[in-house]
A and B are shown apart, each in its own frame.
Chain A
Amino acid sequence: MNKFKLTRRGVLRGMMAGGACTVGLPLLDCLLDGNGLAYADGSPIPPRLVTWFWGLGIGEGAWIPKTSGKDYELPRQFKMLQPLKHKFNLFSGGQVFLEGGSNTTHFTGVQGLMTGKVSSAASDYTRSLDTIIGDHISGSTRFRSIEIACDGNPTACWSARETGRQPAEVSPVALYARLFGAEFKDPNAAEFTPDPAIVMRRSVLSAVSEQRLRIMKSVPADDKARLDSYFTSLRALEQRLEIQMKKPEPLEACTVPSAPQGDEAEPSTLAVDAMARHELFGELVAHALACGQTRVVNMCITQGMSGLRREGDPTSHHTYTHEEPIDPQLGYQVNCAWFQDLYLNALLQFATKLDSIKEGDQTLLDRIVLFAYTDHGAPRLHSVLDYPVLIFGNGGGRFKTGLHIAGRGDPVTRVGFTLQQAMGVPAGDWGSGANRVTAPYLEAMV
C-alpha cells in the first residue's frame, strides 16, 4: 500500500513547507477534474492566446498541401514542423479582399487578416483579433496582454485597438522586470503579505479615474473612444494593483525564470540578434503564461517589411523578396527561403518549449492557442492571396488539431472567426464588406 496519499491540499502544503522559492512541477492530475479541462473545484482552465507574426509570407511555389483533413503531407516550406504536425492546423487558401482599395503593402493585408476590415488609411484602426479575444478571456490577470517585438521596433506588432497599435516590448530585460520584477507575486510562495505601497497606489489612482465622468461629458462623440482608451487602461492598471493586493491562486506549472542578461535592445537588423531575442522572449512568455500573469501575448519576429539580414550580407529579407530571381531548378527564391526557414524554425522552437511544460495530462501548448500568421501570401508579389495561417494547440479542448484546412478562396477572416468562436467570443459574424464571415471552420472545432 502506498504510504502517501496525494491530495491537492497535501501537495500545496508540501510545497509551502519547501520554502518560498518556486518549483517547477506539472499541474498534477489530482488538481484537475477527470478530463483535465477544469480545476478540481470545477472552475474551468482559462483559455490563453499567443499570436505569433512573421513577415513576408511563405515563399513562391506550391505550398498548399494536396489533400485536406488529417492525413495530409506537409509541403517543403513547412516540413520542419513535422515533429509537431499532430499539434497544429494548417489553414491555406484564405485571402483578403481589397474592396477596390489599394494594397498598402505590409499593412492592408494584415489589417484585413487581423481586424476583418481593410482601409488604406494607416491611422484607421479597429480592434484586432487578439484584443477581441483578449477582452473576452483576459479576466483577472496582471496584464490584459503583452506585446513583444524581436527586431527592436516597438511599433512592429499588429495588435490594435480603435486608437492604434499596441506598443511592443523590445527588451527581454525590460520584459522580465515587468513580469517577474519587484511587483511579481509568486503564486506558489508560502507567504503573502500585501505591499502597503501597492494598496496606497491603488487608492491614490482612484482619484484620477473618478474624473472620467466630468471629462467624458464634454467630448465630441468621435473623440470618446480615444479618451475612453485612457480610462480603460487606467482601470486595467487599477485592476492590476488590486490583483497584487490578493494572494494569487497556486499554479503548479509556474516557475520563475532567471533574469536575462545584458540585452539593451538596440535596434538590430541582424537575423541572428532577432532570433536570440526571440529565444529569450519565448522563455519569458512560457513562464508568464504558466504563472498566470497574462492570457494574451502577441509576439512578432519583425515588422512586416522585414529588414533582417544575414551577417555580412547587405541585402535584407524584404529587398530579396523584390529583387531575387526565382531559382529555375528549385522553383523558389533561395535567399527568401532561408529567412522563412529561420522564422519557422523559431516558431518550432517556441512551440516545442511550450510543449515541454506540463499542465496536468497535457502540455502548456495543448492548453493554449498559438496563432501564427503573416502579412502576405506570395512574398515576391506581396500578394493578399493564399495566406498561410497555423494554429497550434487545442486551447484546452477547444480545437481539433493535425488538420490541413483548405480555404479555397475564402476570406482569410474565416480563420480568425473560427478562433473567436472556439475561444467563446459571443459573435455571429466578423469583418466588413467582402471580408465579413459568418461561418467558422467547423471541422477544426470541437
Chain B
Amino acid sequence: MKFILMRAAITCLCLSWAWCLSVVTAMAAPDAQASTTWIKLTTKQYQQSIRDIFGSSIVVTGRFEPDHRDQGLLAVGASRAGVSDAGLEMYDGLARNISGQIVSERNRTTLIPCSPKKTNVSDDACAKRVIADAGRLLFRRALTKDEVQLQVDIARNVTKATGDFYDGLAAALSNLLISPDFLFRFQRLEADRSHPGKYRLDGYSKAANLSFFLWNSTPDDQLLAAAERGELHTAAGLQRQVDRLLSSPNLETGVRAFFLDMLGFDKFETLSKDANFFPRFTVKVKEEAQEQTLRTIVDHLLVRQGDYRELLTTPQTFLTASLAALYGLPLADLTDNGQPDRWYPYRYADDDPRVGLLAQASFVALHSPSGRTSPTDRGKALREVLLCQTVPPPPANVEFQSLEDISNPKFKTTRDRLTAHRSDAVCAGCHRITDPIGLALENFDSSGGFRTTENGAAIDTSGDIRGKKFDKPRELYTVLSTEPSLTSCVAKRAYGFGTGRMPPEKDEHWAAILERFKSSNYNMVALLEAIATSDLFYSPPEKLLQAAASKE
C-alpha cells in the first residue's frame, strides 16, 4: 500500500488531550487491492475509544448488539462477528447521540478546536479540521483527501438545510461514527520491503492491534505518528512504543478489559439472584463484585507485580460495606450517608477459605443458578475459564436413571445428590472432571456468602484433582495454582485478546513467549511485553496471506 503523506501543523486549541493533534492527510486512498480482514470493535472497545478521543464529558448511552464469545473470549468472537439490523440501528442511535453531545453548546468550546465565522452558515475550513482530526483517531489512520472532502460536503449541505453549522458538523461526525472504518479494525497487508516477496501488516494495523491489546482503545497520536514514520516495523521503534504503552496509566484499562473478557463478566448483565434467599445480593453488589475482582487483579498484577498464580491464593483484596455484609466480614464503613460506597483494602488471614479470586462473588455467584449452587457449573467454569480446558457436552439423549429426589432427607447436601447422580456411568465421566472442583467451593452459597452447613449437614469440601488431594477450599487453590495449564491459559487468552485468534501452540515464537512468562515468575506485565514485541503478534492472519497470494 502506498501512502504519500502531507503534514500540516495545526495549533491546538482544544482541551481534550486526544484532539491535540497535527492533521495528517493522505493523498491517496488505502490500496483497494490490498487484502484486508477485520475485527469488530467490542462494546468496551467502542466505549473506551470514544472516551479517549472525545473525553469523559461524552457519555456513551444506549444499547449495543451483544458481543459473541468464541474460544473463551469476546475478542475472538469479534473477529467472526457481523452486524445485524438491530445492531446497526443501535450504532446509528449511538452515533447520533455522541455527535450531538460533541457539538452541544456545553461541549463545543472544549471539544471543537475551531469556531465557524458564523454559526448559521457553513465553514469548510473549520469543518475540515474537525473531521480530519477526529477521523484520524476514529479510523485509526489518516483520512484520504477524498474522505475528508466527502464529510466536509455533508457538513456543508446539512448546514445549508438547517442553517446551523453545528448540525452539519454533527451529521459528518455521526457518519464517521457509523462508518465501517470506525466500527471494524481492518487488518491490512502491505509488501514487506525488508523481505521482498513477503507481506506484513501495515503500520496502522500494527498500531491498532498494539493499542487495543494493551489499552483496549484506539491508538493515540504518538502511536499513529510512529506508525506513519514506519517505526513499528523496526525492533527498536516497536520496543519504544511498547515500553510507553506499558508504563502508561492506560495499561490498567487494558488489563481490566482483558480480565473482564476472560472471566466472562459480560454474563453479569443477565445474572439475577432470588432476593428472598439472597437479600444482600443487590444490583449494587453485582457491580461491586466485579469491581472487587478487577481491583484485586490490578493490585496484585500491576501494583505489586505479583506472580499470576498467586491470584488464586492472595489474601489481599478490596471491599465495600455492601460486599463485607455479603461475605459476613466485619468492616467499619466511614462512608457518609448518600455517598457511593467507599473501597477499603482488606487482608484475610492466610488460611482463610475466602482468599483468592475463586472465593469472590464474581466467580462463585456468577457460576451458580439463581437459587442454589451448582458444583458442576462452577467446576466446568473453572476448567474452561482459567485452565482453557473443554468439558464435553452431555451425550445425546442421556438417560438420568439415577435422578435423585431433592426432597429426600437422605440427600441433604449437593454432594449427596451429585454422588447419587454420578452412579450413572454415562454421566460419571464428565462429572468426575467438574464436580470435585465445584464441591470444594460449596462453602460459598449461590450469592457468594460463606456457609459451613447445608440443610443442617456439615459441608464436605474434600476432593482430589489427578491424585492431588485437598480437604478445604484453601488447599484446592494451592493445588490449582500448580497446574501448568493455569499459566499457559492466561497467556493464550492474552494473545487471543490482542489478535482475535488463538496462538499456534507449536510455534517457536509462542514457545519463546511462554518461556519469558515463566522466567519472569509469571509476571503479567512481562507476558504482555513478550507478546507485544513478538513477531508472532504482528503476523498477518493466514487467510490474508492466502488471499494476497491468490492475487499474485
Contacts and interface: CB of A to CB of B under 8 A. Distances in A.
Nearest to A229: B82
A164 B68 contact: yes
A120 B395 CA distance: 12
Interface stretch (A43-51, A149-157, A409-417): A149-157
B154 A207 contact: yes
Given A167-B65, A223-B38, A229-B83, A384 B544 contact: no
Contacts of A307: 272, 369-370
Contact of A266 (B188, B283, B406): B283
A224 B183 CA distance: 16
A192 interface: no
A340 B400 CA distance: 20
Interface string A292-333: 000000000000000101011111101100111110000000
Contacts of B87: 167, 233
Contact of B398 (A162, A169, A228, A382): A382
B415 to A, nearest CB: 14
A230 B82 contact: yes
B397 A237 contact: no
Interface string A222-237: 1101111110011011
Interface stretch (B174-182, B215-223, B480-488): B174-182
Given A164-B82, A218-B33, A382-B394, 11 more contacts: A102-B393, A123-B77, A163-B83, A166-B84, A215-B180, A233-B88, A236-B88, A312-B276, A313-B371, A319-B372, A384-B396
Contact of B171 (A200, A228, A380): A200
Nearest to B273: A269
Contact of A223 (B37, B374, B394): B37
Central interface residue in A203, A226, A319, by most chain B CB within 10 Å: A226
A311 B85 contact: no
Interface in B29-45: 29, 31-38
A305 to B, nearest CB: 10
A147 interface: yes
Contacts of B417: 323
A208 interface: yes
Interface string A219-259: 11111011111100110110000000000000000000000
A237 B370 contact: no
Contacts of B150: 207
Interface string B176-217: 001111011000100000000000000000000000000000
Contacts of A382: 394, 397-398
Contacts of B272: 152, 266-269, 307
A313 to B, nearest CB: 7
B165 to A, nearest CB: 15
B543 interface: yes
Contacts of A220: 35, 37, 543-544, 546-547
B86 A147 contact: yes
Contacts of A229: 82-84
A124 B522 CA distance: 35
A112 to B, nearest CB: 12
B396 A319 contact: no
Contacts of B396: 98, 102-103, 383-384
Contacts of A326: 403
Contacts of B86: 147, 166-167, 169
Interface in A81-132: 98, 102-105, 120, 122-123
A325 B65 CA distance: 40
Interface string B254-276: 00000000000000011110101
A38 B125 CA distance: 57
Nearest to B545: A220
A262 interface: no
A380 B66 CA distance: 30
B551 to A, nearest CB: 9
Given A155-B66, A167-B86, A269 B161 contact: no
A218 B548 CA distance: 9
* Interface residues on chain B, size class: 35 or more
B92 interface: yes
B392 interface: yes
8 closest A-B pairs by CB: A163-B82, A314-B371, A229-B82, A103-B396, A233-B88, A220-B547, A269-B370, A226-B82
Interface in A126-150: 143-145, 147
Given A102-B393, A152-B270, A309-B274, A227 B398 contact: no
24 contacts: A98-B396, A105-B393, A105-B394, A120-B393, A122-B70, A151-B270, A154-B66, A164-B84, A165-B68, A166-B86, A196-B161, A204-B154, A215-B36, A218-B31, A218-B32, A218-B33, A220-B35, A307-B370, A309-B371, A314-B446, A319-B372, A380-B400, A384-B397, A385-B397
A309 B272 CA distance: 11
B225 interface: no
A214 B29 contact: yes
Contact of A218 (B36, B162, B179, B394): B36
A208 B371 contact: no
Contacts of A269: 272, 274, 370-371
B158 interface: yes
A382 B158 CA distance: 57
Given A154-B66, A227-B38, A233 B84 contact: yes
B371 A322 contact: no
B80 interface: yes
B399 A208 contact: no
Contacts of B158: 200, 204
Nearest to A378: B397
Nearest to A241: B92
B89 interface: yes
A153 B266 CA distance: 11
A322 B82 contact: no
Contact of B276 (A162, A166, A233, A311): A311
B124 interface: no
B32 A217 contact: yes
A161 interface: yes
B274 to A, nearest CB: 6
A381 B84 contact: no
A314 B369 CA distance: 8
Interface string A261-283: 00000111110000000000000
A16 to B, nearest CB: 30
Interface in B141-169: 150-151, 154, 157-158, 161-162
A193 interface: no
Contacts of B392: 102
A211 interface: yes
A221 B271 CA distance: 38
A178 B89 CA distance: 10
Given A226-B82, A309-B371, A385-B397, A267 B38 contact: no
B404 interface: yes
A208 B32 contact: no
A324 B407 CA distance: 9
Contacts of B38: 219, 223, 226-227
Interface in B517-549: 543-544, 546-547
